[in-house]
């Protein structure tokens, strides 16, 4: 079957690794697992279920993502990174105990109005004030922050102290000079605030967490690294001590012999230079496998790397198994997994790893597995049972 497998043991391994790394530098740092965009294609509700109470926070982009988690019974604190957009959203943030980023003046106005209309409501909203330290996406200018804090301090429906958040623009390039500048700017903002009103501070996501130990502060916000995928071009997760959590799998649905000179697929962009056997695989760009992938990009079949040939179509792609191949219809095909890093496929499609995982479509089922489910593992019960047969 064509599907995604998510390995919970690998996920927990990565969480342990990241916690260990942080604790070496800043023992009290909390971990916010970023599970926006359906947990980067890994299934947000299940990932949240497995990590509930094991991480300190969940981070999502939008309120509806947070509401789904609360309705599932997730207890862990949740921060909505995009913040609230309306007063009716504000009511839901408070009702479901969801924390919000606040990043512009329009939100402060809405907060003040909501305050007036909800004076009898004693529930409070926890907020993370976002400062734009140089990315120029969301956030107040650094010099605005003291007055934002002053204003929020006077609102009784806002939980005190107030937290502070910012985000790096180029942390995936450790040598980039903007990193230092953003970090210094964050420091200056902290210094401009009265200590008693300032709560937690958080700056790094995955790449900063792997390269900027001085910037851990009170909380790290790993997304991509938690899933065992490297945010750095030219580095795989293995090099970082992480395990790729996701395996994308399919199977051979047809095998066909062709002659020298036969062209295959849409546009006939690949022509065989020899007699060979083609394998037709039941996965395509309609599942999220990149149509952009280079000719001869590898898939893994029966332990061999086999090249993709011709254009990837919506529901299928074709590989060149070789003239003497013994592979059969039904054999498993790995498009990416621990033995075939997704970073490699990203490189060969000129796409980011972030885009590859988030563009997987709803047609793919997600199975949650453990190491012991892997039939290649030694000491595995089902492996032993098969030996005895
Ligand atoms: C998406 C996001 C993260 C996680 O980024 P990764 O590079 O996947 O670790 C952290 N913080 C914010 C504000 C984000 O938007």
Residue nearest to atom 3 of ligand 1 (CA): 205
Name the nearest CA neighbour of 33 among 97, 62, 70, 76.
76
Q: Average pLDDT in the 283-293 region?
A: 98
Q: Average pLDDT in the 355-365 region?
A: 98
Q: Sorting pLDDT into bands at 50, 70 and 90, what band is 25?
A: confident
Task: Say yes or no to pLDDT of 36 above 80.
Answer: yes
Please tell me if the CB atom of residue 215 comes closer than 6 angstroms to any atom of ligand 1.
no
Q: Sorting pLDDT into bands at 50, 70 and 90, what band is 123?
A: confident
* Ligand 1 pocket mutation pick from 61, 223, 230, 353 by most atoms within 8 angstroms of CB: 223
Count the alpha carbons within 13 Å of 353 in the hemisphere toward its beta carbon. 24
Q: Average pLDDT in the 36-45 region?
A: 98
Residue nearest to atom 7 of ligand 1 (CA): 206
Please tell me if the CB atom of residue 222 comes closer than 6 angstroms to any atom of ligand 1.
yes
Rounded percentage of the chain residues whose pLDDT exceeds 90: 90
Three-state secondary-structure class, residue 6: strand
The Å distance, Cα 232 to ligand 1 centre, comes to 14
pLDDT at 383: 31
- Express each pLDDT in 62-81 by its tens digit: 999 999 999 999 999 999 99
The Å distance, Cα 194 to ligand 1 centre, comes to 28
Please tell me if the CB atom of residue 223 comes closer than 6 angstroms to any atom of ligand 1.
yes
Task: Say yes or no to pLDDT of 387 above 60.
Answer: no
Q: Are 208 and 225 in contact (CB under 8 A)?
A: no
pLDDT at 375: 52
Task: Say yes or no to pLDDT of 27 above 90.
Answer: no
Task: Say yes or no to pLDDT of 109 above 70.
Answer: yes
Strand partners, 7: 369
Dmax (CA) of the chain: 80
Query: CA angle, corner 154, sides to 152 and 157, nearest 5?
Result: 75
- Express each pLDDT in 236-277 by its tens digit: 999 899 999 999 999 999 999 999 999 999 999 999 999 999
Please tell me if the CB atom of residue 209 comes closer than 6 angstroms to any atom of ligand 1.
no
Three-state secondary-structure class, residue 137: coil
Q: Sorting pLDDT into bands at 50, 70 and 90, what band is 159?
A: very high
Please tell me if the CB atom of residue 81 comes closer than 6 angstroms to any atom of ligand 1.
yes
Burial environment of residue 208 by CB neighbours within 10 A (0 to 12, 13 to 18, 19 or more): buried
Please tell me if the CB atom of residue 208 comes closer than 6 angstroms to any atom of ligand 1.
no
Strand partners, 319: 279, 308
Three-state secondary-structure class, residue 126: coil
Please tell me if the CB atom of residue 41 comes closer than 6 angstroms to any atom of ligand 1.
no
Task: Say yes or no to pLDDT of 215 above 60.
Answer: yes
* Ligand 1 pocket mutation pick from 221, 227, 342 by most atoms within 8 angstroms of CB: 221
Task: Say yes or no to pLDDT of 349 above 60.
Answer: yes
Q: Average pLDDT in the 10-14 region?
A: 98
Strand partners, 202: 165, 219
Strand 78-80 relative to strand 99-102, pairing: parallel
List active site positions: 36, 266
CA dihedral 184, 175, 212, 164 (to 10 degrees): 40
Task: Say yes or no to pLDDT of 374 above 90.
Answer: no
Q: Sorting pLDDT into bands at 50, 70 and 90, what band is 119?
A: confident
Task: Say yes or no to pLDDT of 381 above 60.
Answer: no
pLDDT at 386: 30
Q: Average pLDDT in the 356-374 region?
A: 95
Q: Are 231 and 312 in contact (CB under 8 A)?
A: no
Query: CA angle, corner 64, sides to 29 and 161, nearest 5?
Result: 40
Q: Average pLDDT in the 115-137 region?
A: 92
- Cα(276)–Cα(256) distance, rounded to whole angstroms? 8
pTM for the structure as a whole? 0.94
Please tell me if the CB atom of residue 138 comes closer than 6 angstroms to any atom of ligand 1.
no
Q: Average pLDDT in the 284-297 region?
A: 98
Residue nearest to atom 6 of ligand 1 (CA): 223
Q: Sorting pLDDT into bands at 50, 70 and 90, what band is 28?
A: confident
Q: Average pLDDT in the 180-184 region?
A: 97
The Å distance, Cα 221 to ligand 1 centre, comes to 6
Ligand 1 atom at minimal distance to the Cα of residue 221: 10
Strand partners, 277: 257
Instruction: Name 39's Cβ contacts closer than 8 Å, sequence gap at least 6.
Output: 46, 47, 48, 227
Q: Sorting pLDDT into bands at 50, 70 and 90, what band is 95?
A: very high
């Amino acid at each position: 079957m064509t599907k995604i497998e998510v390995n919970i043991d690998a996920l927990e391994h990565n969480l342990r690794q990241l916690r260990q790394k942080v604790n070496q530098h800043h023992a009290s740092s909390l971990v916010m697992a970023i599970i926006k965009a359906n947990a980067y294609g890994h299934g947000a509700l299940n990932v949240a279920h497995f990590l509930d109470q094991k991480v300190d926070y969940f981070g999502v982009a939008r309120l509806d993502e947070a509401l789904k988690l609360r309705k599932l019974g997730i207890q862990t604190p949740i921060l909505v990174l995009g913040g609230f957009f309306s007063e009716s959203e504000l009511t839901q943030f408070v009702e479901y105990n969801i924390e919000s980023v606040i990043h512009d003046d329009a939100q402060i106005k809405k907060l003040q109005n909501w305050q007036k209309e909800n004076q009898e409501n004693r529930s409070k909203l926890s907020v993370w004030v976002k400062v734009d330290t140089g990315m120029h996406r969301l956030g107040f200018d650094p010099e605005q922050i003291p007055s934002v804090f002053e204003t929020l301090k006077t609102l009784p429906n806002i939980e005190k102290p107030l937290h502070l958040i910012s985000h790096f623009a180029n942390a995936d390039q450790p040598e980039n000079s903007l990193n230092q500048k953003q970090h210094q700017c964050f420091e200056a903002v902290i210094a401009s605030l009265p200590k008693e009103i300032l709560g937690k501070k958080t700056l790094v996501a995955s790449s900063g967490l792997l390269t900027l130990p001085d910037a851990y502060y009170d909380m790290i916000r790993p997304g991509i690294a938690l899933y065992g995928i490297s945010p750095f071009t030219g580095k795989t997760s293995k090099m970082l001590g992480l395990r790729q959590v996701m395996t994308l799998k399919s199977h051979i649905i047809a095998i066909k012999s062709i002659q020298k000179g036969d062209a295959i697929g849409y546009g006939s962009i690949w022509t065989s230079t020899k007699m060979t056997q083609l394998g037709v695989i039941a996965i395509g760009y309609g599942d999220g496998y990149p149509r952009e992938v280079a000719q001869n990009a590898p898939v893994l079949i029966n332990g061999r790397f086999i090249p993709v040939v011709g254009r990837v179509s919506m529901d299928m792609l074709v590989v060149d198994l070789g003239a003497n191949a013994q592979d059969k219809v039904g054999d498993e095909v790995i498009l990416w997994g621990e033995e075939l890093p997704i970073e490699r496929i990203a490189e060969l499609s000129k796409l980011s790893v972030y885009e590859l995982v988030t563009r997987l479509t709803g047609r793919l089922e997600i199975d949650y597995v453990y190491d012991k489910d892997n039939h290649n593992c030694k000491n595995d019960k089902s492996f032993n049972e098969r030996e005895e047969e």
